[in-house]
Amino acid sequence: MVDRLDEMLGFQTQALRLRSQRQELLAANIANADTPNYKAVDFDFARALQEAAAPKSNSASAADTKPTLLYRQPGQASLDGNSVEMDAERAQFADNTVRYEATLRFLNAQLKMMLTAIQG
Amino acid sequence: MSLFNVFDIAGSAMTAQSERLNVTASNIANADSVAGPDGKPYRARQVVFQAMAPASGQGPAKVGVVGVVEDPSAPRQVYDPKHPLADAQGYVRLPNVSVVDEMVNMLSASRSYQSSVEVMNTAKNLLLKTLTLGQ
């Protein structure tokens, strides 16, 4: 019974975890906007979620898989070697915020649905 | 939980930017200080930012100020023989502060600070919403 619940909420939980990890990375990019030679990093969310959701044969649990980090390709190079583009980072940050909230709502709705099924 | 680290990261950026603003204030305030405690004109100072990578190597990095360096360029020389600190040729040595550059620095620091505040606020809102999960 409990593993069924886990299975049902598992996907959204993984999505929420990856969203919060991405939020942290984007915050670090914005924080380092003035640091010389800092290279902006990000990860491919769709691929990371696929990897986290795919059933694994080995014992490594999904919670400790880390997404592969990629360097962002800047549209315009800057003289101090910094590759943070504030507009792009802020846009991604806002986008990620909304998607995090969306995932929260999905999770909430699933919980409510389960509660309704239990309570009748 | 990753979202809590956002507070650390944005907080480190705010500390670094406020230190930069502090140094800028010092430079602008001393733009005309012909003599410091050592009798020499004031030299412009700049902070040096560095990304502080986490202990695990890769991943989100905080910002740190690794030092404050003095601008090594020569002081401005202005011909003013009436000045009490003028040398034998009548030149006064003024600080090598460029007020225009410092104003730009000030604007950049304050905008970056604002960005960090917004990032922190967003993270706070997300965490508060996460707390209401299941209610």
pLDDT reading at B102 higher than 70: yes
The pTM of this model reads 0.86
Report the alpha-carbon distance of residue B52 to residue B55 in Å, rounded: 9
Q: What is the pLDDT of residue A64?
A: 64
Quick: pLDDT tens for A70-93. 999 988 888 999 999 999 999 999
Contact between residue B63 and residue B50 where contact means Cβ atoms under 8 Å apart: yes
- Cβ-defined contact of A97 to B49 (cutoff 8 Å): no
Render A6-40 in DSSP notation, one character per residue. Answer: HHHHHHHHHHHHHHHHHHHHHHHHHHTTTSTT---
Q: Tell me the nearest-neighbour CA distance from A56 into chain B, angstroms.
A: 23
What single-letter amino acid sits at B15?
A: T
Q: What is the pLDDT of residue A4?
A: 81
**Interface ipTM:** 0.84
Quick: pLDDT tens for B37-58. 888 899 999 999 999 988 777 7
B69: part of which helix (H) or strand (E)?
strand B62-70
Q: Where are the beta strands (DSSP E) in B1-135?
A: 45-52, 62-70, 76-79, 91-94
pLDDT reading at A113 higher than 70: yes
Domain containing residue B81: 2-131
Closest Cβ–Cβ partner in A21, A90, A104 for B133: A104
Q: Indicate the number of domains in chain B.
A: 1
pLDDT reading at A59 higher than 60: no
Q: Indicate the number of domains in chain A.
A: 1
Q: What is the pLDDT of residue A56?
A: 64
Between helices B99-131 and B2-29, what is the axis angle to 10°? 160
Nearest residue on chain B to A106, judged by CA atoms? B133
B117 interaction partners in chain A (CB closer than 8 Å): none
pLDDT reading at A57 higher than 60: no
B10 interaction partners in chain A (CB closer than 8 Å): 27, 30-31
Domain containing residue A74: 2-55+62-119
Instruction: Centre a 10 Å sphere on the Cβ of residue B41 and count the other Cβ atoms it contains.
Output: 21
Q: Calculate Rg over the CA atoms of chain B.
A: 22
Q: Tell me the nearest-neighbour CA distance from B133 into chain A, angstroms.
A: 6
Q: Does B47 touch chain A (CB under 8 A)?
A: no
For residue B16, which of B54, B43, B46 has the smallest C-alpha distance?
B46
What ranges in A32-85 are assigned the alpha helix state H?
A: 45-53
Cα A41 from chain centre: 13
Q: What is the pLDDT of residue A25?
A: 94
